[in-house]
Chains A and B, each alone.
Chain A
């Protein structure tokens, strides 16, 4: 085994007992037969390991805990609603996945219902119906003015009713009727 590699391992894994068993034995065998590496190992132990062995573990002065406790007590007095909520949010959110899924489905269904019944949609439908009726009415009056006479009007009204779709829009066909041309003209406008 190469001395350089052995020295690298002495500096770390060997001295710290972090080498796999087989490798540790190989390094030990090399050290036993190589004076340079033996001296190096002795230096590493003397300089980088042994001086730390007697270091006494201390506990912090009691004043440190007293300061921490005082700071926490002060903070507890000033806790806002938001802080209390955020501290308990984890518990609130700790519910099974199935409950989340059911919640999402309910919200989605509710959202669809709201959208379908939304006032702006109803308003739009009313506007569309109103526009169709207004167009029809205008077309009838215009036709009446142009051609004159109630019998002609009745004939054309029947035709318009035939053209009306279920969705209250008016289907026009200018090739079939004079009034159809007017209705189409009005809707385009």
Chain B
């Protein structure tokens, strides 16, 4: 992960909106994709992205460069995405059904782009739904965002062995669900 120059961070912390936009452009794709994969809902992902950057802007003056800025932003993103997912789980069943329809539509729309096969898109949607948010976050960070185990550990502030355990359990669960569905 290439980090954002310190001067840019310091300028943004002093209120330079141009510098802050630079940070946003460099990291928003990660934040948005992670939020979407964790929440499984596009609207929630947009809201999480907005909340992440407002929080980053508010806290930037207190950032002490002990970790990379990206790691810090990604940590905020994963935490807010997990919270949003938990909150969305508490919504009524009607809303959940609506979200599910939107997710399938999202998957089709992405499949139309030719970036991903429709069956893979549906499979990712259904398989990620069976994972708990912590395991899901690890899978997203590893399989979609391509972070190393150490980067995942730093982002989630967990031990590298916990990363390994979560990925192992998540993948065992994926295989179990896949086989139960008779594929």
Contacts and interface: CB of A to CB of B under 8 A. Distances in A.
Contact of A58 (B32, B123, B175): B32
Contact of B53 (A51, A56, A68): A68
Nearest to A69: B17
A109 interface: no
A63 B49 CA distance: 11
Nearest to B113: A56
Given A43-B175, A76-B15, 16 more contacts: A11-B167, A12-B164, A48-B170, A48-B171, A51-B123, A52-B143, A55-B115, A55-B116, A60-B31, A60-B45, A60-B49, A61-B46, A67-B50, A68-B24, A72-B20, A87-B15
Nearest to A51: B120
A43 to B, nearest CB: 6
Contact of A51 (B28, B113, B124, B170): B124
A134 to B, nearest CB: 62
A25 B172 CA distance: 23
A88 B62 CA distance: 10
A44 B32 contact: no
Given A18-B148, A68-B50, A87-B14, A60 B115 contact: no
Nearest to B149: A18
12 contacts: A12-B164, A12-B168, A43-B175, A47-B174, A48-B143, A56-B110, A59-B32, A60-B31, A64-B50, A65-B21, A67-B50, A87-B14
Interface string A30-67: 00000000000001100111111011111111011101
A101 interface: no
Contacts of A65: 21, 24, 28
B39 interface: no
A58 B33 contact: yes
Please report whether the interface of chain A is mostly helix, strand, loop or mixed according to DSSP: helix
Interface of B: 13-15, 17, 20-21, 24, 28-29, 31-33, 36, 45-46, 49-50, 53-54, 57, 61-62, 110, 113, 115-117, 120, 123-124, 127, 139, 142-144, 148-149, 164, 167-168, 170-172, 174-175, 178
Interface in A1-39: 8, 11-13, 16, 18
Contacts of A87: 13-15, 61
A55 B178 CA distance: 19
B150 to A, nearest CB: 9
A49 B143 contact: yes
- Highest count of chain B CB atoms <10 Å: which of A44, A51, A58, A60: A60
Contacts of A44: 171, 175
Q: Return the 4 tightest CB-CB contacts between A and B, nearest first.
A: A56-B115, A52-B143, A60-B32, A54-B116
Contact of A11 (B13, B62, B172): B172
A124 interface: no
Contacts of B45: 60
A181 B46 CA distance: 93
Nearest to A91: B14
A71 interface: yes
Contact of A64 (B28, B115, B143, B170): B28
Contacts of A88: 14
Contact of B142 (A16, A55, A59): A16
A86 interface: yes
B29 A58 contact: yes
Contact of A60 (B46, B110, B149, B168): B46
